[in-house]
Amino acid sequence: MLLMIPGPVHLHERIQLAMAKPMIGHRTKDFSEILEYCTEMLKKLFGTKHDVFIISGSGTAGMEAAIACFSKVKRITCIDNGKFGDRLGKIAERYTEVDVVRFEWGKSIELDEVEKSLAEGSEALAFVHNETSTGILNPARELAKIAKKYDALVIMDGITSVGGDYVAMDEWGVDVAIVGSQKCIGAPPGLCAVAVNDRAWEFYNEKCPFYLDLKAYKKKLEDWQTPYTPAVSLFFALQEALKIIEEEGLENRIRRHRELSAFVRKWVEEAGLELFPELNEYSQYSNTVTAIKMPEGITDKELRGELKEKYGILISGGQEHLKGKIFRIGTMGNVTIRDVVTTLACIERILVKRGIIKPVLGEIEA
């Protein structure tokens, strides 16, 4: 099965095989070296000189660590213009007062509404950089800038941008950021990382979950160790994934993500299909996942079903109320132009057969 969903991504063979290595003890120099390498490489991906803590858990564990550990705030503003923004708010509710600034899923963030919420007394702002559920790249730099006007802590979910698109945490003034292993980094799911600058610790809440308490991670990282037994095999995989990134070069990698997503969008346009996101002057189309409106004349089940059963390609549908209304194609991780062409060619066959579009793939310039 060719995975073209927005994570978990198809694994590079080297990454698959890395997991087949014999187990090692985690309280050893061997493991510390892996942890150090991964931590230092992730700092480059986040664009930070500050701390990065790797947690054995899904991206959601990272979201909760980021919010819970730094929730000593009177109120936090959470931006919801998609499923993962919605999740940030739901997590934050467990720790402090929350003001959710909502936009219809697929719509862009209006900066003045965010500013209004901050001005009303929020001490922190949490948002999703790349909203996977709708295919929008939210304006991280601008959001951080507004938050700074109100001296608010900035927490950014970079789960599906870090490692695949440009992220410059320190430069943008983002205090806390999160990434997941199974997205742009190209590793299997099960690890996440939280980048934390010095300022964030002023907001440290000692009532955060024990397992996600980043203070314990910080202390153990002095010896390049984790506080609890790490998912060692996944670290083997992460190390290999980061080596592949190092070999490719981060700039080349970002360019590849941008070119491949641009290719998908070009095909959508040429085929007369419609992209789902409604952009404003600050937001952009995501470079790691493209959300496309389901055309008339075919159902989600037919499109994704035939693609999966006949062609062995997995793409995503819409989530929650978007189910059936959109389909999503990931261009994340170690995905190649061949993977993208393969996917579009098969989708095109399905749609052409039903008379929904005309064939255009052959003529698109890449």
- Rounded to a whole number of angstroms, the minimum distance from the CB of residue 312 to a copy of itself is 11
Among the listed residues 47, 57, 135, 164, the single contact to a copy of itself using CB under 8 A: 57
Chain centroid offset of residue 48 CA = 17
Position 329 contacts a copy of itself (CB under 8 A): no
- Rounded to a whole number of angstroms, the minimum distance from the CB of residue 103 to a copy of itself is 22
Q: Is the preceding omega at residue 8 within 30 degrees of 0, hence cis?
A: yes
Q: Please give the full DSSP string across 57-108, using - where no structure is assigned.
A: S-HHHHHHHHHHHT--SSEEEEEESSHHHHHHHHHHTTTSEEEEEE--BTBP
Contacts of 363 (CB under 8 A, 6+ apart): 270
What residue type is 42 in one-letter code? L
Burial class (CB in 10 A: 0-12, 13-18, 19+), 48: buried
Position 299 contacts a copy of itself (CB under 8 A): no
Position 9 contacts a copy of itself (CB under 8 A): yes
Position 64 contacts a copy of itself (CB under 8 A): yes
Q: Which stretch binds a copy of itself (CB under 8 A): 22-30, 148-156, 271-279, 281-289?
A: 22-30
| Residue whose entry in the numeric block shows the structure tokens 């927490």 | 155
Position 56 contacts a copy of itself (CB under 8 A): yes
Position 119 contacts a copy of itself (CB under 8 A): no
Position 237 contacts a copy of itself (CB under 8 A): yes
Sheet holding 97-102, edge to edge: 51-56, 191-196, 176-180, 153-157, 124-128, 75-80, 97-102
- Minimum CB distance to a copy of itself smaller for 25 or for 359: 25
Position 305 contacts a copy of itself (CB under 8 A): no
- Rounded to a whole number of angstroms, the minimum distance from the CB of residue 9 to a copy of itself is 7
Sheet holding 316-317, edge to edge: 289-293, 326-330, 316-317
Element (H, E) at 234: helix 232-248
What residue type is 87 in one-letter code? R
Position 10 contacts a copy of itself (CB under 8 A): yes
- Minimum CB distance to a copy of itself smaller for 144 or for 332: 332
- Classify residue 268 by its DSSP letter: H
Render the burial of 338-361: b for 16+ CB within 10 Å, e for the rest: ebbbbbbebbbbbbeeeebbeebb
Position 16 contacts a copy of itself (CB under 8 A): yes
- Rounded to a whole number of angstroms, the minimum distance from the CB of residue 304 to a copy of itself is 11
* 192 to 221: interface string for a copy of itself, x by CB under 8 A: ---------------x-xxxx---------
* 175 to 194: interface string for a copy of itself, x by CB under 8 A: -----x-x-----xxxx---
C-alpha torsion angle, residues 163, 166, 168, 172 (rounded to 10): -140
- Minimum CB distance to a copy of itself smaller for 3 or for 245: 3
- Rounded to a whole number of angstroms, the minimum distance from the CB of residue 305 to a copy of itself is 12
- Minimum CB distance to a copy of itself smaller for 16 or for 299: 16
Closest C-alpha among 119, 154, 166 to residue 284: 166
Q: Which residues bind a copy of itself (CB under 8 A)?
A: 1, 3, 5, 7-11, 16-17, 19-26, 28, 56-61, 64, 68, 90-91, 94, 180, 182, 188-191, 207, 209-212, 227-234, 237, 314
